[in-house]
Structure 1
Amino acid sequence: MDPGLPPLNGLRTFVKVGRIGSFAKAANELSVTPAAVSRSIHSLEAYLGCKLFHRMHRHISLTREGQIYFDNLNDIFDRIRLATLDLNQQRTDRPLIISAYPSFIVSWLVPRWSHYVQSHPDAQLRIVTTLSHDIPFEEKGIDLAILSGRAGDPRYISTRLLDTTLVPVCRPDYLPPETLLGDTEDWQDALLHCDTRPNDWDQWSEANGVPLDTSRGQWFENASMMYEAAMSGLGIAIGIEELLSREFASNRLAVAFRDNVEIVCPFYVIRPKKTEGHPFFRTFLDWLQDEVRKSSKT
């Protein structure tokens, strides 16, 4: 064994314990027993010839030597992980990893997917969902994200893909025919919200000059669940019109108020600079933009 390189498992355990300050909690995160953590630290201390932790009743703390060692090692495994992710991202044989909201994937991307496969049979792509606007590009190895309302982050490149519109939607027979947009006391208790787009009703309310108590109603984890609730007659969802064409065509949903003011909701393709070097990126972006052009002509 290289005398300057202690066992990596012991180093990993030491860094974890040093960060958390507890053998038991570190064992839980490492999926081992506290006894295994203790043995690993003892072995590392024996290898180094010094104590790394003061062990008190129900409490541990780093020794002077332990603190010096920890300060030098604290980010080393993060750097190894990021270096591995970076290497994987530079490989030409790996898929392009795309992240988007479930509703966008199911309603917009997947119905068009066969067009891409037919024109690019050798391309390797992988699609993953997100319920957050904050995409861990580097941490998860994601190459690009398709999101609404996320331009302007200086860390990433954003390309405007398409403009959609926000509209209130419900089951066609949910509201009485004579219900007016301004009759808010008759319907605002039935608002449906989703966690991924928490401000949509506020934006619609302001644009339409309709005062709403947007704290009312029911919340769902994502837009797909919210739309399902609306189709079940549970209430009125605030939806992206262009993602609901199948629901409108099948008469499962309808625009709740025909006289409402449309709110533009742009979608962007967001990616780190290095994504542009991926062999499948440019053809995929060109295909996306071509599909948007085709949709705008129909």
Structure 2
Amino acid sequence: MVYSLPPLSWLRAFEASARLGNFTRAAEELLITPAAVSYQVRQLEQKLGYPLFERVHRELVLTRLGQTYLPSVEKAFSDLSIATVSVFGERDRKPVRFRCLNSFSQLWMIPRLKSFQQAFPEIELQMMSASWAETLNPDLFDIDIRFGDGSWRDGAVEFLLNDPIVPVCHPQFSFDVRERDLDTLAHASRLDIMGVIDTWESFFRAFGHPAPRRTGLQVDQTLSALELAALGHGHALVLETLAQPYLETGRLVLSCDRKIKSRHSYYLVTSGPRQGLGSDAQIFCSWLIGELGAKDL
């Protein structure tokens, strides 16, 4: 088969220049001179017959056609990199370093790490936990799995999952679903998680019920709220994904069948575009996206 392709070095110069914003930074990554990068991009533009960049004050701005072409070029290099490592391995491999919130790591990530390691035994992982979303430090980790509104400016942000919020409790505290059961729940002992945006007040208002007064304990971690609820200390309002291990084992049940849409979501945050990560990190990200995408919401 004959492929209608420009030289790969020209495409690599285009991808690096688009990702890094100018020829100088692209040259540093590709270990050639800025003049060589500029030449290769010009040759690519001449072959295609269209400009890919506008040169604005020493910075590069993609043209409309450049913006259309870039994702396909990025994916091609990403697929080629992953395939190469999958078949031939990688010398001097570095561990994939990622960070996620404590509750997510304990309740979602850790139970699934064995399946990842079985599928990719040659990839070494380093997991770090955090209590709150913090600034990305590429010197410490490559990938950050965050929960929030996605408005961070310290890295490339990619949507992962929006999870519903559900009320859960010890099995002895559940009740049948009828309109008046909101009144029952409003007068029951409830656990509050400090710092969350989707509160009990939000839950009740979503169903047109007056917001009840605060009762019960306040905690700073979802994991603490789930453990307290499982011990019978009250109802907890949590993300369905994090409650799932407790629901599957029967330690907790749904307080009722009401749920609300979370105003925050899970996001993947990386220091640059995902396609610019090492091949092992890209494999991990693809696995993570596949696992979360398989969740039946």
Return the offset for 1:146.
1.3
Q: What is the TM-score when the length of structure 1 is the normalising length?
A: 0.60
Paired residue secondary structure (2:173): coil
Whole-angstrom distance in 2 between the partners of 1:204 and 1:221: 19
CA 1:270–1:172 in 2, change beyond 3 Å: closer, same or farther? same
Residue 181 (structure 1) aligns with: 182
How many corresponding residue pairs?
203
* Equivalences for residues 199-278 of structure 1 within 5 A: 199-213=198-212, 215-258=214-257, 260-264=258-262, 265-273=264-272, 276-278=276-278
CA 1:150–1:243 in 2, change beyond 3 Å: closer, same or farther? same
Whole-angstrom distance in 2 between the partners of 1:140 and 1:230: 38
Whole-angstrom distance in 2 between the partners of 1:213 and 1:236: 14
Return the offset for 1:138.
2.0
Residue by residue, what CA displacement relative to the aligned partner does 1:1-33 show, whole Å, maximum 9, x if unpaired?
xxxxxxxxxxxxxxxxxxxxxxxxxxxxxxxxx
Paired residue secondary structure (2:289): helix
Return the offset for 1:166.
0.4
Paired residue secondary structure (2:99): strand
CA 1:198–1:110 in 2, change beyond 3 Å: closer, same or farther? same
Q: What is the TM-score when the length of structure 2 is the normalising length?
A: 0.60
Return the offset for 1:235.
0.6
Return the offset for 1:286.
0.6
Residue by residue, what CA displacement relative to the aligned partner does 1:183-224 show, whole Å, maximum 9, x if unpaired?
45522xx22122353643243233222322464331123111
Whole-angstrom distance in 2 between the partners of 1:241 and 1:163: 10
Paired residue secondary structure (1:160): strand
Percent of residue pairs bearing the same amino acid type: 20
Residue 5 (structure 1) aligns with: none
The 10-residue stretch of structure 1 (105-114 or 178-187) with the greater mean CA deviation from structure 2:
178-187
Residue 14 (structure 2) aligns with: none
Residue 141 (structure 1) aligns with: 140
Paired residue secondary structure (1:112): helix
Residue by residue, what CA displacement relative to the aligned partner does 1:143-190 show, whole Å, maximum 9, x if unpaired?
222122241223321111122110111111125658701345522xx2
Whole-angstrom distance in 1 between the partners of 2:285 and 2:233: 38
- For the pair shown, the structure with the greater C-alpha radius of gyration is 1
Residue 167 (structure 1) aligns with: 166
Whole-angstrom distance in 1 between the partners of 2:116 and 2:243: 21
Whole-angstrom distance in 2 between the partners of 1:216 and 1:140: 43
CA 1:140–1:191 in 2, change beyond 3 Å: closer, same or farther? farther
Paired residue secondary structure (2:200): helix
Residue 68 (structure 1) aligns with: none
Whole-angstrom distance in 2 between the partners of 1:214 and 1:94: 52
CA 1:122–1:150 in 2, change beyond 3 Å: closer, same or farther? farther
CA 1:154–1:123 in 2, change beyond 3 Å: closer, same or farther? same
Residue 35 (structure 2) aligns with: none
CA 1:168–1:180 in 2, change beyond 3 Å: closer, same or farther? same
Contact 1:97 1:141 in 2 (8 A): yes
Return the offset for 1:249.
2.2
Residue 100 (structure 2) aligns with: 100
Q: For residue 232 of structure 1, what is the amino acid of its counterpart?
A: L
Residue by residue, what CA displacement relative to the aligned partner does 1:79-132 show, whole Å, maximum 9, x if unpaired?
xxxxxxxxxxxxx64422211122211221122212211222121211111111
Paired residue secondary structure (1:248): helix
CA 1:119–1:237 in 2, change beyond 3 Å: closer, same or farther? same
Q: Which blocks of at least 5 consecutive residues in structure 1 are unaligned?
A: 1-91
Return the offset for 1:231.
0.5
Whole-angstrom distance in 1 between the partners of 2:166 and 2:160: 20
Q: Which blocks of at least 5 consecutive residues in structure 2 are unaligned?
A: 1-91
Whole-angstrom distance in 2 between the partners of 1:287 and 1:153: 23
